Amino acid sequence: MSVQRRVRVGGLEIGNELPFTLIAGPCQLESRQHALEMSHALSELAGKLGIGLIYKTSFDKANRTSIKGERGLGMAKSLPIMAEVRETYGCPVLTDVHEPDQCAIVAEAVDVLQIPAFLCRQTDLLVAAAKTGRAVNVKKGQFLAPWDMKNVVAKLVESGNENVLVTERGASFGYNTLVSDMRALPIMAAQTGFPVVFDATHSVQQPGGQGTSSGGQREFVPILARAALSIGVAAVFMETHQDPDHAPSDGPNMVPLKEMPALLETLLAFDRLAKANPVSIG
C-alpha cells in the first residue's frame, strides 16, 4: 500500500484518515447573486457543523448532452465572481478546466483545478493543470478501472505537483446508467496514495437519460454517500441547489439545499465511525 499523503487546500488539510471535507455547490455558476447566496449558505452550514468546505462551481458545462443546453456564464464573467466568493467567505473554491490554455488563468481565481472525468487521460491538460501549482482534483473516467488512476496521478506528480485528489464518480453500467463500485475507494487510496473523494451526486446521474439532457436519481445520494463514508474517504462531493428542479443543469441529481443540514449530520456520524475503525487493502 502506498504511503497515504495529505493535501493542503487553502487552510484545509485533506487526507483519507482525517475528518471528511465537503466539496459542494451548484452545478454551474448562474449569476453573481446566486453564487454569493449559495456560498454563504454552505459556508454557514459547514462552519456550524465543523466541516471543512471547498465551494465548487463551473464557468462552462462543456459536455452538455444537447447543443441547446445552458453552459454557464463563461470564464471571463465567472472568474471574478469565484474570486469574490473566496475573499468574502474565506472558503477555497474549485472549478473545472477543459483546455490546457485555461489552467494558468483559472488558477489565479481558484484554489483547486478539477479535471472532468471525460478528460482525465488528456496529458496536455493534466500537465498544464499541474504546473499551476494549484491542487488538482481528477475525476476518474466512467470508462476507467480504479487501478488505472495511478497512471493519471503519475502525469501530475511527474509534472511537479503533489497536491492531488482523485474522485470516484461511478462507472458506466450499460446505457444511460452508472454504478458505484465501492471497492474503487480503497483501491485508489492504496494504489495512488492520495486523498480519495466520492462524488455522491454525479454517481446517481443517468447520462443522456432524458433524451436531450441527463437524468438522475437524487433519492440515492444519501445512500451512496453513507456507503462511501462508512469505508472512509477524504472528502465527499455533492452538488446542491435551492431549487434543483429548475436548475439549468444536473437538476435531477442535485441535493436540495434545505436537505443538506440533516444529510451532513448523518454523514458526520458515519465518518466518525469509519475513521475510528479504519480499513485498508494491500
Cα–Cα dist 264/93, whole Å? 19
Domains of the chain by start residue, with CATH: 7-276 (3.20.20.70)
Kind and range of the H or E element at 223? helix 221-231
pLDDT for the residue 103? 99
Q: Which residues contact 261 (CB under 8 A, 6 or more apart)?
A: 45, 49
Give, in order, the Cα–Cα distances in Å from 150 to each of 130, 156, 206.
15, 10, 27
| Nearest one of 188, 114, 113, 197 to 144, comparing CA atoms | 188
Predicted confidence pLDDT, tens digits, the chain (282 residues): 578 999 999 999 999 999 999 999 999 999 999 999 999 999 999 999 999 999 999 998 776 566 766 778 999 999 999 999 999 999 999 999 999 999 999 999 999 999 999 999 999 999 999 999 999 999 999 999 999 999 999 999 999 999 999 999 999 998 889 999 999 999 999 999 999 999 999 999 888 766 666 677 899 999 999 999 999 999 999 999 999 999 888 778 999 999 999 999 999 999 999 999 998 886
Cα–Cα dist 18/15, whole Å? 5
Q: Which residues contact 179 (CB under 8 A, 6 or more apart)?
A: 170, 171, 173
Q: HSE, CB side, 13 Å, CA atoms: give it for residue 21.
A: 30
Q: Which residues contact 194 (CB under 8 A, 6 or more apart)?
A: 5, 7, 153, 164, 165, 166, 188
Radius of gyration of the chain (CA): 17
